[in-house]
Homo-oligomer: A and B are copies of this chain.
């Protein structure tokens, strides 16, 4: 059984699917989310459906793969059962836990209540609705008091860099093409990071390039700066400085605390697993749990050993895909009576786009692409990895259209407040509520 239909979980199921096994995949959503493009959904470049793909469609041709649309609430390691919300427990022989992570608050007050994150499709939709509403409000007020939107982004990793780059482009589009009326010169996008450089982990050239392009395009990059508090009017820095902001996007890192994987560690029925920084579950070299060779942890939830054995691999898509695949291979080896193998992460490089025709791509072997070549590499790779011909075609149409004639994004403020739809696990029929059009 595999819990989680993210990069790690899908990779595991893909590896297991051809074998003569009953494979069950459990996820609380009925779709896989292509997380690297969530920032595009959040900044109105792509529609939610462009970066998500139904799980059942992915494994349509695999009759042995069964999808269970449910929230897994716990694992009984001793009884070898996964507990589900609103349904009976499911037994397993082998288990891959690939439940991902959540946004890390690092103990900063106000983050949970006052900031947006960008880890799930729902996060992206909420942020987009908010950003577009902020622009509309600035337009409504603009003529009078010169109000202009201010966006604060906390975290200078790829997500922060990409979101900041896309937000300045959205501001330009809003003023130039949509003729929203606010003072563009007073509108701000501010990117904070506690470290002294952006894109930690990228080569120095790529990092300098990203910062230069962002600044040329109007992002205020403030490095070596710590955000001490998020409050309704903006953020307070550790220096005491107050920054007024409409929107705070918190993409400073992720944590495994509070997730199903984390509960494995505290489980008295389990072995009391060790935890690495960020709450990641420490695993044996083959990614199995100590004392439970039939249970593996993969992806963001796992403390995957880094190449060379010093520290842990980053929580990125490549590690998730490779570790999910590795866990599944170990299951197949175990079934064949072969010994377990240690996982080795093969770092193929990193990429981040800074905006239109500007990206950094760092490929293994030392090649660093910047500018248009970097952007084309980024675009091509993301198109290849998107699941499903339809999504690829639709995203290509969107991107081509946006490229040749800017202002075409799916810029809908959609998902109005009101009675929520039925959660999938609820048994009662929802009461959909009335048309409240006045």
Tell me whether chain A's interface is mostly helix, strand or loop, or mixed.
loop
Which chain B residues lie closer than 8 Å to A60 at the CB level? Answer: 177-179, 407
Cα–Cα distance between A137 and B423 once the two chains are bound (Å)? 11
CB-defined contacts of A47 to chain B, threshold 8 Å: 47-50
Interface string of A252-271 (1 = CB under 8 A from B): 00000011100000000000
- Mark out the residues of chain A between 401 and 438 whose CB falls within 8 Å of any chain B CB in the assembled complex: 401, 407-408, 410-418, 420-424, 427-435, 437-438
Question: What residues make up the interface of A, taking CB atoms closer than 8 Å to B?
Answer: 28-31, 47-50, 52, 54, 56-57, 60, 63, 68-73, 87, 99-100, 102-103, 112-117, 119-123, 125-127, 129-130, 132-133, 136-137, 139-140, 177-180, 232, 246-247, 258-260, 388-390, 393-394, 397-398, 401, 407-408, 410-418, 420-424, 427-435, 437-438
Whether A413 contacts B424 in the complex (CB less than 8 A), given A30-B136, A99-B437, A438-B71, comes out as yes
The residues of B that contact A411 with a CB separation of less than 8 Å are 30-31, 54, 56-57
Contact status of A429 and B56, CB under 8 A, knowing A422-B130, A434-B112: no
Name the one of B117, B179, B421, B438 contacting A259, with C-beta atoms under 8 angstroms.
B438
CA distance A415 to B428 in the complex (A): 18
Contact B421 A126 (CB under 8 A): yes
State the copy count for this chain. Answer: 2
How far is it, in angstroms, between the C-alpha of A73 and the C-alpha of B100 when the chains are bound? 45
Contact partners of A232 in chain B: CB under 8 A: 428-429
Contact A423 B412, beta carbon cutoff 8 Å? no
Q: Are A57 and B394 in contact (CB under 8 A)?
A: no
- A232 vs B432: C-alpha distance when bound (angstroms): 11
- Across the interface, do B114 and A429 meet the contact criterion of CB distance under 8 Å? yes
Bound together, the chains give a CA A258 to CA B436 distance in angstroms of 9
Q: A125 vs B419: C-alpha distance in the bound complex, in angstroms?
A: 12
Residue of B49, B137, B398 touching A424 (CB-CB under 8 A): B137
Given A136-B69, A437-B102, A122-B397 contact (CB < 8 Å): no
| Chain B hits for A140, CB < 8 A | 68-70, 87
Between A and B, 30 residue pairs with Cβ closer than 8 Å are A29-B413, A30-B132, A30-B413, A31-B411, A31-B412, A47-B50, A48-B412, A49-B49, A57-B407, A60-B178, A60-B179, A69-B139, A102-B437, A113-B434, A114-B431, A120-B435, A120-B437, A121-B414, A122-B416, A123-B432, A133-B423, A136-B424, A232-B429, A246-B429, A259-B438, A390-B408, A413-B424, A417-B420, A418-B420, A420-B420
Q: Which of A49, A102, A180 has the most CB of B within 10 A?
A: A49
How near does chain B come to A418, taking the closest CB pair, in angstroms? Answer: 7
CB-nearest residue of chain B relative to A421?
B129
B122 touches A415 (CB 8 A): yes
**Residue ID in chain B nearest A424 by CB atoms:** B133
Closest Cβ of chain B to A427, distance in Å, is: 7
A420 to B232, CA, bound (A): 17
With contacts A113-B431, A401-B393 taken as known, whether A54 is within 8 angstroms of B130 at the C-beta atoms is no
Q: Is B437's CB under 8 angstroms from A100's CB?
A: yes
How far is B126's CA from A435's CA once the two chains are assembled, in angstroms? 12
Task: Enumerate the 10 nearest inter-chain pairs by beta-carbon distance, A residue then B residue, closest first.
Answer: A417-B420, A102-B435, A47-B49, A129-B421, A49-B410, A56-B178, A69-B136, A54-B411, A113-B431, A112-B434
Bound Cα distance from A349 to B232, whole angstroms:
54
